């Protein structure tokens, strides 16, 4: 059975066997048509089911080819003997007859009993600034923790089938000089993986992301205290033209104490304590919302823009399928607000099962330990006055 959904971006998405996704029909799903195929002219003969299930072939500059399903043999080996070996998921995570594949690769699944969308992904990046938590294969792996061989529009269509309407993207209004954050239904995002001891772990995805600490921290200071002399090539530096004191990277407790001992000036002491506090690791606490991306005509038919890699974003993009509900710059690596929390991540190429749980259904499967409690090495996320405010934070590169 086919049900046609009006997504709100000017074109309908048809998802085969959506009655199955909704839990009201046969348990055997059929492939789905892409938005691009919906927009194309109908030919005299109807396309085959296999053709209808094909994802968009062209994704922002990538080669025009069909991505093969991920297999163990296709995964790269560890680069050297010192790199930890990738881990595999436990089959028990998907051992339910209520979990139904929605695409031919079997990487997008619907848990009809708990209203969860499950994504089979792999770790692409464990260190560095982030624009995405999850991207499509061969798109944004250089700035995304996870990648997967799947179609963003299928996630969109399933959320709509379950009654969740898309929201609005983040945007800066030059007339009012105000930033409008992304809106939409809240989507809980959880990650499941196997740790080095073979134990399955489940955490909110925020657990893997922290505010960037490999950057400059600082504040205004009219002049250096009379009793303070800064050595050359010292990490703490003063800019007399802009009257600004700055420090790069996280400041340890020992470094803080040594710097405090260099001057008794009250303003200087306050600034050092502020920099030390702001440079500590802070887990990301903000939530994701269903923005829904949009379609545009690229000369070869309409294309759903989230297919370019913008599946689950941690920097604001109008093309995002899921975006943060707070402001997060996407302009320049030096301005990116978040980075991967390396010490908490499994090795590259490890298998990870991502759960997308719309707010209404989240209580059905969440466990008490899943409440993203910061560990001892993490401080609650605080507003950072030193982070550059970029008016173009919602614009794409």
Based on the fold, state whether residues 102 and 174 are members of the same structural domain.
yes
Cα–Cα distance, 75 to 171 (Å, whole number):
38
Tell whether the model's pLDDT for residue 283 goes beyond 50.
yes
pLDDT in tens, 321-336: 999 988 765 444 445 6
Residue 79: pLDDT band (50, 70, 90) is: low
What domain range includes position 188? 87-212+288-370
Instruction: Tell me which residue has tokens 């399955």.
Output: 200
- What pLDDT sits at residue 49? 39
Model pLDDT for residues 212-252, shown as the tens digit of each residue? 888 889 999 999 999 999 998 899 999 999 999 999 999 99
Residues 205 and 224 in one domain: no
Give the phi and the psi of residue 306 in degrees, each rounded to 5.
Answer: -65, -20
**Of 245, 278, 311, the domain-final residue:** 278
**Residue 255 placed within a domain:** yes
The answer as to whether 391 is a domain residue is: no
Predicted structure pTM score: 0.70
pLDDT > 60? residue 343: yes
Which tens digits make up the pLDDT trace of 123-165?
A: 999 999 999 999 999 999 999 999 999 999 999 999 999 999 9
Judge whether 78 lies within some domain.
no
User: Is 176 found in the same domain as 163?
Assistant: yes
Provide the percentage of residues in the chain whose pLDDT is more than 90.
56
C-alpha to C-alpha distance for 306 and 313, rounded to whole angstroms: 10
pLDDT value at residue 24: 54
Query: What confidence tens digit (pLDDT) does each residue in 159-215 have?
Result: 999 999 999 998 877 777 788 899 999 999 999 999 999 999 999 999 999 998 888
Alpha helices in 106-238 (DSSP H): 152-161
What does DSSP assign to residue 112?
T
Looking from the CA of 152 toward its CB, the CA atoms found within 13 Å total: 31
At 71 the pLDDT is 41
DSSP-H helix ranges across the chain: 18-22, 35-39, 49-52, 152-161, 253-260, 266-278, 362-365
**Domain match, 116 and 261 both:** no
Number of domains in the chain: 2
Residue 10, pLDDT score: 43
The b/e string for 328-366 (b: 16+ C-beta within 10 A; e otherwise) is bbbbeeebbbbbbbeebbbebbbbbbbbbbbeebbeebb
Same domain, 171 and 273: no
Instruction: Say if residue 266's pLDDT is above 90.
Output: yes
- Indicate if the pLDDT at residue 21 is higher than 80: no
Same-domain status, 203 and 223? no
| pLDDT reported for residue 388 | 39
Residue 388 resides in a domain: no
Q: What is the mean pLDDT of the chain?
A: 78
């Amino acid at each position: 059975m086919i049900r046609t959904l009006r997504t709100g971006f000017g074109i309908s998405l048809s998802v085969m066997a959506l009655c199955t996704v909704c839990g009201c029909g046969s348990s055997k799903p059929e492939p789905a048509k892409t938005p691009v195929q919906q927009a194309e002219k109908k030919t005299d003969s109807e396309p085959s089911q296999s053709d209808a299930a094909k994802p968009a072939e062209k994704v922002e500059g990538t080669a025009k080819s069909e991505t093969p399903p991920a297999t163990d043999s296709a995964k790269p080996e560890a680069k050297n003997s010192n790199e930890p070996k990738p881990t595999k998921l436990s089959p028990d995570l998907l051992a339910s007859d209520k979990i139904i594949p929605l695409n031919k690769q079997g990487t997008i699944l619907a848990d009809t009993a708990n209203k969860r969308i499950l994504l089979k992904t792999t770790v692409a990046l464990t260190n560095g600034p982030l624009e995405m938590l999850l991207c499509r294969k061969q798109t944004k792996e250089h700035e995304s923790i996870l990648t997967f061989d799947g179609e963003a529009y299928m996630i969109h269509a399933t959320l709509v089938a379950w009654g969740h309407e898309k929201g609005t993207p983040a945007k800066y209004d030059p007339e009012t000089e105000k930033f409008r954050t992304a809106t939409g239904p809240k989507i809980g995002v959880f990650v499941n993986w196997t740790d080095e001891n073979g134990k399955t772990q489940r955490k909110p995805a925020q657990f893997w992301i922290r505010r960037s600490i490999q950057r400059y921290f600082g504040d205004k200071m009219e002049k250096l205290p009379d009793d303070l002399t800064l050595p050359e090539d010292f990490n703490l530096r003063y800019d007399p033209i802009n009257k600004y004191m700055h420090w790069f990277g996280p400041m340890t407790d020992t470094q803080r104490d040594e710097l405090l001992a260099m001057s008794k000036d009250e303003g200087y002491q306050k600034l050092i304590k502020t920099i030390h506090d702001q440079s500590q690791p802070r887990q990301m606490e903000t939530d994701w919302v269903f923005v829904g991306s949009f379609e545009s005509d690229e000369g070869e038919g309409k294309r759903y823009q989230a297919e370019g890699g913008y599946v689950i974003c941690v920097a604001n993009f109008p093309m995002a399928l899921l975006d943060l509900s707070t402001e997060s710059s996407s302009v320049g690596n030096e301005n990116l607000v978040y980075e991967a929390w390396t010490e908490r991540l499994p090795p590259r190429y490890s298998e990870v099962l991502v759960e997308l749980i719309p707010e209404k259904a989240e209580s059905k499967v969440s466990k008490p330990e899943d409440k993203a409690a910061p560990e001892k090495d993490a401080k609650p996320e605080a507003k950072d006055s030193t982070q550059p405010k970029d008016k173009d934070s919602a614009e794409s590169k």
